[in-house]
Amino acid sequence: MSGWICLHRKLLKWEWYDDINTSRLFLHCLLRANHAPGKWHGIDIPAGSFISGRKVLSKETKLSERNIRTCLAHLISTNDLTVKATNRYSLITVVNWASYQDKELNRPANRPAESPTGDQRPTNDRPLTTIKQLNNDNKLNNKTLWLAPDWLNKKAWSEFEAHRKEIKKPLTDLSRTKAANQLEGYSDIQQQSIIDKSIQGRWAGLFPDKQSQPDKHSGFKDRDYKKGATKIEDISWMNQE
């Protein structure tokens, strides 16, 4: 694979930049994504997308498969990536890929556009993702979203969100509240174990072991757990489609 990609300094302010594994995987996806539409085994692969899987990504990045799953859950929850999984492969797409790689969008305002030479077509001949379009996309993503309870293991929950999308049963606000209630009273470790069991079994629901008693939360004795989840205007770690 040859060529290069644009890497804007805005990534320094990106919410996952300080997460080494997640930012590493995202950068790898930028490098792997098609710069132009292509085909693979008769399947259309649009620009900004590529075919891969957890085992392949683990081999390419030297991250464990568990880390890959967690990082993908992070990037999916914040709408940085989308993943369409089948029993043979996954189609991974960098959301708003053009905003990272479009030369016109990334060109400084005081720098003139390069004139096309030879058989190059003028840039005006192809459609551009405009700043207005990107802002409109952001407005769509700022709709009222579900807020998880304070006691919920957010890392494990992100994995459950990604799992439900992978089995084509994405969570609704009502199903989120009901599923979260199944984890109430359990420690972070117990919640992770319950969610891991559902993911391994490819189950849509959460099924705590009735024989194990929930651990008491420390430092939350004054919280009212019966309130459950409510809604707010924005939440960064979860994406509502």
pLDDT digits (tens, 9 = 90+) for 32-54: 888 888 888 878 888 889 998 88
Q: Tell me the three state secondary structure of residue 90.
A: strand
Q: Say whether pLDDT at 135 is over 50.
A: no
Mean pLDDT of the chain: 75
pLDDT value of residue 6 = 75
Percent pLDDT > 70 in the chain is 66
Chain segment 62-109, per-residue pLDDT in tens: 999 999 999 999 999 998 999 988 777 889 999 887 776 655 444 444
State pLDDT tens for residues 160-185: 989 999 998 898 888 888 898 889 88
CATH code matching the domain that covers 1-141, chosen among 1.10.4160.10, 1.10.10.10, 3.30.365.10, 1.10.3720.10: 1.10.10.10
Are the CB atoms for 169 and 227 separated by under 8 Å?
A: no
Question: Is 110 buried (19+), middle (13-18) or exposed (0-12) by CB count in 10 A?
Answer: exposed
Cβ–Cβ under 8 Å, residues 228 and 180:
yes
Residue 151: pLDDT band (50, 70, 90) is confident
- The total of other beta-carbon atoms located within 10 Å of residue 179's CB is 21
Q: Does pLDDT of 144 surpass 50?
A: no
Q: Report the alpha-carbon distance of residue 239 to residue 241 in Å, rounded.
A: 6
| Alpha-carbon span 106 to 6, nearest angstrom | 8
Per-residue model confidence (pLDDT) at position 216: 47
- Higher pLDDT: 136 or 153? It is 153
- CA 101 from centre of chain: 19
**Positive or negative torsion for Cα 235, 58, 52, 170:** negative
Angle at 72 between CA 67 and CA 60, to 5 degrees: 60
Return the pLDDT at 215: 57
Structure confidence at residue 211 (pLDDT): 65
Q: What is the pLDDT of residues 207-226, one digit of tens each?
A: 888 766 665 444 444 444 44
8 A C-beta contact, residue 124 and residue 204: no
Instruction: In whole angstroms, give the CA distance from residue 221 to residue 239.
Output: 30
pLDDT, average across residues 148-158: 87
Percent of the chain scored above 90 by pLDDT? 27
> How much is the average pLDDT of 190-210?
90
Q: Where are the domains of the chain?
A: 1-141, 145-217+227-232
pLDDT surpasses 90 at 131 = no
What pLDDT, on a 0 to 100 scale, did the predictor assign at position 237?
Answer: 45
